Amino acid sequence: MSKFSIVSFFIYFVVSAAPAAVGEDYDYRTIRSPRSLTAEESRVAEDQYQRYCSLCHGADRQGYVNDHAPSLRSKSLFRSGVPHEVLRPIQYGREGTAMGGYLDEVGGPLTLDETWNLTYWLFWQADTERVRITKELVSGDAGRGAELYTENCTDCHGANGEGVNAPALGNPSALSHNSDEFIRYAIREGRDGTPMEPWKDKLSSDDIDNLTAFLRIRASGWEQSRVALREGPTPDQ
Ligand code: HEC
Ligand code: HEC
């Protein structure tokens, strides 16, 4: 075989393997990192992290110290979730879980700027690069997604998405903050250093879309509740 044909054989092999359903790699484009913090902003953010967050998420951001709080250092989360999917839970919390809202607007101790700084501080600690997460909707067969969910996900996330030893996937505040692509990314890539494995090695891309569609439509009758905002100021205030 000539050198050329060996090369073309490899190209053929790679190209023909690419559309394979399981283990297919998406091309997630890397995007610019968010702004860096000043030394003072970093110091304050770290201090606030240790004061308000380490109790559950751990002094080293490892997670699982209390209330099965997730890891705040998995690269996968910070590749896909900065800013909004990390910022919103810090600001508004996850209704019905141990994760409260820390923004002053909902009665928390942090200003708006401090919640942004904390998000960026966590990003820089995670030492990774961001990928482009689109706001495009994921379409799939939610009925098939429900079956896949029951087969593969209930041990940790609960039959009704309530979260057993993992985040509550049916949580209305999580669903309203998390884009489809962020959810799909978590399922595809897993969360490194945690029990959440990358399902792209086990399920086809279509089935991952089906699961995303199922979670998105809250197909199992998961309930929605109202977020309580602090009273607005009156004119004399
Ligand atoms: C062995 C337990 C386990 C199984 C099985 C499992 N997960 Fe997870 N999952 C987790 C844990 C733990 C996390 C949180 C990881 C972290 O610390 O970031 C997670 C995170 C997630 C997240 C991100 C949630 C968020 O709020 O950011 C999604 C989405 C998810 N899982 C979907 C699924 C789906 C769909 C399945 C079934 C195909 C599944 N998981 C199976 C343990 C599991
Ligand atoms: C009382 C325990 C507790 C404290 C304190 C706490 N959290 Fe959480 N946090 C949780 C739990 C539990 C979850 C997962 C909730 C769910 O099921 O969706 C969570 C979720 C999160 C998420 C979403 C992660 C993901 O994978 O989607 C972020 C970001 C987060 N917390 C940041 C913080 C920060 C920053 C602080 C401090 C300002 C903090 N948390 C304080 C318990 C806590």
70-110 pLDDT, tens digit each: 999 999 999 999 999 999 999 999 988 899 999 999 999 99
Burial call 201-230: b when 16+ CB within 10 Å, e when fewer: eebebebbbbbbbbbbebbeebeeeeeeee
* pLDDT for res 17: 38
Integer Cα distance of 115 and 101 in angstroms = 10
Integer Cα distance of 106 and 138 in angstroms = 31
Structural domains in the chain? 30-131 (1.10.760.10), 142-216 (1.10.760.10)
pLDDT higher than threshold 50 for residue 49: yes
| The pair of three-digit structure tokens given for residue 43, joined into one six-digit string | 């110091």
Average pLDDT of the chain to the nearest whole number:
87
User: How crowded is residue 40: how many other Cβ atoms within 10 Å of its Cβ?
Assistant: 9
pLDDT higher than threshold 60 for residue 13: no
Is there an atom of ligand 1 within 6 Å of 212 CB? no
Which atom from ligand 1 is nearest to the alpha carbon of 171?
26
Integer Cα distance of 231 and 219 in angstroms = 33
- Residue-wise pLDDT for 18-32, tens only, equals 333 565 567 799 999
Q: How confident is the model at residue 163 (pLDDT cuts 50, 70, 90)?
A: confident
Lowest-confidence range among 23-32, 43-52, 95-104, 195-204? 23-32
| The pair of three-digit structure tokens given for residue 190, joined into one six-digit string | 């897993």
Alpha carbon nearest to ligand 2 atom 12, residue: 69
* pLDDT for res 120: 98
User: How crowded is residue 144: how many other Cβ atoms within 10 Å of its Cβ?
Assistant: 16
* pLDDT for res 225: 53
